Amino acid sequence: MDAQTTEYLANYPLLRTNDLDEARHCVTEKFCDHALDKSSRFDDLAVRHNHVAGQHVSVNYLHYGADVQIDPGMLEDFYLLQVPLSGAAFVRHRGKEIVASTQTATLLNPDRETQMQWRGDCRKLMLQIDKTYLHDVAQGLLGSPPPGTIRFDPVVDLTTTSGQHVRHVLERVARLAEERALFSGSNNSQDLWVEAELASTLLTHQSSNISHILHRADHHVLPSDLRRAQAFIYANTGEPIRLVDIATSADMNVRTLQKGFQRAFGKSPMKVLHEARLDAAHYDLTARRDPPSVTDAAYQNGFSHLGRFSRDYKARFGHLPSETR
């Protein structure tokens, strides 16, 4: 597949327009408020925006079809990886002026100002990832909370092994989403696992202000037995699994499992399972095109007591499941 001629996520069209105000409004709804202007009033826009979302991330294909100037200021709530598939863009971020191309992607931080100029031939595949979620994944890798806001080097060199890996993972996820194997509502546990993989890939393959801490944390990864236990949890959120089942899946005894999870996540294995079930139910209610009833979302994700489910759901997300739409 030739990335320079591929329109990723064509099965998920969000916007087709030549109207500047419509383009600004639609992109704002999925990202953040921003200024958008054509570089020349004589150019015609031909905007194509494809979009698919999970619980904590979204994957986007965007092409404006004309030279445009974009000023989002600070993103505030999310990180944004932008991988050019063709053409060029000029990005000013975190004190750097970057020429983005098929050899250089950009990773924008939420707490730094950004201004961009996209050429008319610039087509990008983009990963938007929630700031709080990325910090949670970083805590899992570090075994303790990050010491403040995570800030990445905004320049992603796609000619290096690490840069190529970042691009490969994003393109693979986009292809799977295109085939409706991801983010279609059919396999919540797999979706959540892929989201964790995307966050971990950025943290372990792109330079940041916590890279040196990650290097000290046993080469960026959890021990293999804890990774097996975590994978078992995400794959079985809807099953009536017990603590001993998690331990058995990782070939560990219960006490070692509990100590390992407390050290890596600051939580017990059953707390991680409980939160994964809540996240899966929230995903069902918000991301699916045909969301289930609250009762079905609860039962399908391992909850048997609706009252406790509603209470814990509100504590995690700030509203009742019945208010989620």
- The number of domains in the chain is 2
pLDDT in tens, 99-145: 999 999 999 999 999 999 999 999 999 999 999 999 999 888 887 78
For the question of whether the overall pTM of this predicted structure is more than 0.85, the answer is no
Tally of helices (H runs) and strands (E runs) in the chain: 11, 12
CATH number at residue 50: 2.60.120.10
| Structure tokens belonging to residue 273 | 């399972």
Least confident residue range of 15-19, 124-128, 229-233, 294-298: 229-233
CB 123 within 8 A of CB 63: yes
pLDDT in tens, 235-254: 888 889 999 999 999 999 99
- Residue 297: inside a domain: yes
CATH number at residue 271: 1.10.10.60
Domain range holding 259?
222-323
Same domain as 119, residue 259: no
H/E stretch holding 139: helix 131-142
Could you tell me the end-to-end alpha-carbon distance of the chain, in angstroms, rounded to an integer? 37
- Residue 205: inside a domain: no
End position of a domain, from candidates 197, 212, 241: 197
pLDDT at 291: 79
CB 154 within 8 A of CB 83: no
What angle separates helix 188-205 from helix 131-142, to the nearest 10 degrees?
70
- Residue 75: inside a domain: yes
Lookup result for tokens 């814990």: 312
pLDDT at 155 over 50: yes
Same domain as 244, residue 115: no
Confidence of residue 3 (pLDDT cuts 50, 70, 90): low
User: Rounded to 5 degrees, what are φ and ψ at 275?
Assistant: -70, -35
Same domain as 234, residue 182: no
